[in-house]
Amino acid sequence: MSLYHEAASILTGPGGGGSLKSRIYNNRALKSSPAHLYALVSETIKWSDLLREVVERSQLLSVEKKLTPVLAVLLAHDLLLRSGIAAAASHPLKLSITRHKTRLNAEFVKARLRRGFSSIDALRASVDLHGGSGKALGNGGPGEEKDGRVPTRPLPHPRWVRINALRTTLEAQLKTTFADYSHTDTLVSLLEAPPTEKMLHIDRHIPDLLALPPRADFTNTVAYMQGDIILQDKASCFPAYLLDPSPEDGELIDACAAPGNKTTHLASLLSERRRVSGTSTKNPSIWALERDKTRAETLKRMVETAGANHMITVKAGQDFLRVDPGNEVWGGVGAILLDPSCSGSGIVGRDEIPRLILPSRDTERQAKPSNKKKRKRGPIHESTVSGGSIIPPPQDREIPSDSITHRLSSLSAFQLKLILHAFRFQSARKVVYSTCSIHAEENEHVVIRALNSDIARRRRWSVLRREGQVVGLRKWSTRGTLSACEGLESGYGDTTEVVADACLRCLIGDGEGTIGFFVVGFVRDLTIGEDNELAPDSGATADCDEEEWEGFSDILDPELNHAWSSSGEMPTGKKKKRKK
């Protein structure tokens, strides 16, 4: 039963910084499968308001004294909403919940009917749409329209699956893993279908990418376990596809490689280009750099599972900013992928992590008959420690606007530094930069500062214009914000309009089923020599406002500190003014 005890520990223990997912997947002391543990914890949080009601009305905690409120909702979740408790039939903890199965099921049905849902599928659809926000589980009226359909609400996020061309083909997977799935031409029809419908949509922008229903789970399939399919958001596929790796590029660098989805996507695309062109080589072509050695181990496992060992060399402990672009070791690098640490403001659910709501033991005590004279009790508040408690996510605390401004300023300075460093590689002719941020400070503003730098103008770097992008992304309609591209100096052939049109943005809730994302490509004209009238690298310090970045202080944002230190791109410390 370590699964439930570890889940309870995660839900009740100190946050320690980082997202729920990172805290689980980066915890090497856990005995349970991180995937199973994360699924249990996140789904229990999502359903906790309804489960609290079921546990309280069944008086479970008043009978089973050894059960804690958090264990009660975890076990109730698997009993009522999954295939059962993951434990031996005779285990005491399992018996403490299964002997009350009839009562718990009855209370669950009553709770569903009180909310106006005629079926469990309709209730699931509503919970999935609202992500545990509580809107779907309130008692404010019927949960369905008169015809039994869930009322129109924002569409949920689909499950994206990338077919790994290193091991299989789209056609092969459609005949095996997805043989019993029907096809639909539109993403909207897939997301509006009943949650139990087996349906898929072949994406029109990214090759070998499928959209599946939000609840589709492939983690136990043979195809997933042997690396034939990879779970990867559509927006996350943009960077490698925009870089469009080819044999003519020579060697490639993924500068911030862990956990490895984009790295293996690069390998998959390059392998396909080699196959089509008839080019073959046994030598690795992709350098995957990861400063943090723990994350590098995850990267290595991902590369091995994807079958990309023959194409990718993992450089564990290697900081991209400490690589010497002039060293002959890197002389063959023609293309670089940069997906650095960012604010993560575009990640679905980052700002709306649901709360865990626990049942109260006091509620069960009040329900028990007693000969004693009852004294009046005040209302039971959900903030009490013993029960009815809410464990709020760390994101609920308000962050002063000046702290946000400082974060974005510091992040963008680092992001710019990475781009300028990439521009210095002797043979580099393509660079792709991406973030999962919605802030212009990390996106268009960084692009403009990079283009305005002396190194960009001296070495003839410009944006990869829309007409030069791969066909799938050339057709992508959402582009950069024109007003955010103001300030472009007369550089190497670019205009404000050209730069904005070269940038690609993904927006949450626009019907494309992506997270918030930004990506842009830079290309270098090698037909003309460098402009030596500009002082070498003189633009580097000017574009960083003459401040040297040495990391965030510990009091600013523990979660951000964690993300930066684990991504392996930053030294720690505080800002200090550079002496003039």
- What angle separates helix 558-567 from helix 293-305, to the nearest 10 degrees? 60
CA distances from residue 84 to 39, 100, 111, 234, 520 in whole angstroms, order as listed: 14, 13, 20, 33, 47
Do the annotations mark residue 316 as ligand-binding?
no
Do the annotations mark residue 164 as ligand-binding?
no
How many C-beta neighbours within 10 Å does residue 468 have? 12
d(CA 362, CA 577): 57
Sign of CA dihedral 344, 345, 349, 353: positive
Strands laid side by side in the 159-163 sheet = 182-183, 199-202, 209-212, 159-163, 229-231
Sign of CA dihedral 50, 51, 56, 59: positive
Do the annotations mark residue 422 as ligand-binding?
no
237 counts as catalytic: no
Do the annotations mark residue 475 as ligand-binding?
no
Q: Which of 237, 436, 506, 544 is catalytic?
A: 436
Do the annotations mark residue 211 as ligand-binding?
no
Do the annotations mark residue 339 as ligand-binding?
yes
Do the annotations mark residue 257 as ligand-binding?
yes
Quick check: 18 and 562 in contact, CB under 8 A? yes
- Counting Cα atoms < 13 Å in the Cβ hemisphere of 458 gives 16
Do the annotations mark residue 342 as ligand-binding?
no
d(CA 104, CA 397): 35
Identify the burial level of 334 via C-beta atoms within 10 angstroms of its C-beta, where 0-12 means exposed, 13-18 middle and 19 or more buried. Answer: buried
Counts of helices then strands in the chain (DSSP H, E):
22, 17
Do the annotations mark residue 259 as ligand-binding?
yes
Identify the burial level of 423 via C-beta atoms within 10 angstroms of its C-beta, where 0-12 means exposed, 13-18 middle and 19 or more buried. Answer: buried
Q: What is the DSSP letter of 523?
A: E
Do the annotations mark residue 258 as ligand-binding?
yes
Q: What is the DSSP letter of 357?
A: E
Residue numbers in the known binding site for S-adenosyl-L-methionine are: 256-262, 290, 319, 339
Residues with catalytic annotation?
436
Residue numbers in the known binding site are: 256-262, 290, 319, 339
